[in-house]
């Protein structure tokens, strides 16, 4: 008698766990694709990486550091603008 109710409780708990996982989407990988990420974004990120690697090779060089910081600002501005354009297009399509 006791084992029957114990089995029922285990099955009930298993069901509740799977239900909560489905609701909260635990264990599922979220998509890392960014549809607003385009070739312009890729090019600016490559330029930033090159500037950073140049600066890391010679950290005492002030112009290389300034170039890296400039590239960093460029990338953040371009990514922000591209994302904004994408979202505005999505809103326009929805309306």
Q: What is the mean pLDDT of residues 54-66?
A: 94
Structural domain includes residue 22: no
d(CA 83, CA 90): 11
**Full residue range of the structural domain in which residue 79 is found:** 30-94
Structural domain includes residue 41: yes
Structural domain includes residue 4: no
For tokens 């989407």, name the residue.
25
DSSP tag of 33: -
Structural domain includes residue 77: yes
DSSP tag of 32: -
Query: pLDDT tens digits, residue range 6-16?
Result: 565 667 666 66
Which pTM does this prediction carry?
Answer: 0.62
| Confidence band for 1, pLDDT divided at 50, 70 and 90 | very low
> What is the rounded end-to-end Cα distance, in angstroms, of the chain?
61
For 29, list phi and psi in degrees, rounded to 5: -80, 135
- Number of structural domains, the chain? 1
């Amino acid at each position: 008698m006791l084992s029957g109710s114990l089995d029922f409780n285990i099955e009930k708990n298993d069901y509740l766990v799977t239900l909560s996982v489905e609701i909260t989407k635990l264990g599922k990988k979220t998509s890392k694709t960014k549809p607003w990420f385009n070739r312009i974004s890729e090019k600016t990120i490559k330029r930033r990486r090159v500037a950073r690697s140049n600066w890391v090779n010679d950290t005492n060089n002030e112009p290389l550091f300034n170039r890296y910081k400039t590239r960093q600002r460029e990338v953040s501005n371009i990514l922000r603008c591209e994302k904004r354009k994408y979202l505005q297009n999505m809103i326009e399509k929805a309306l």
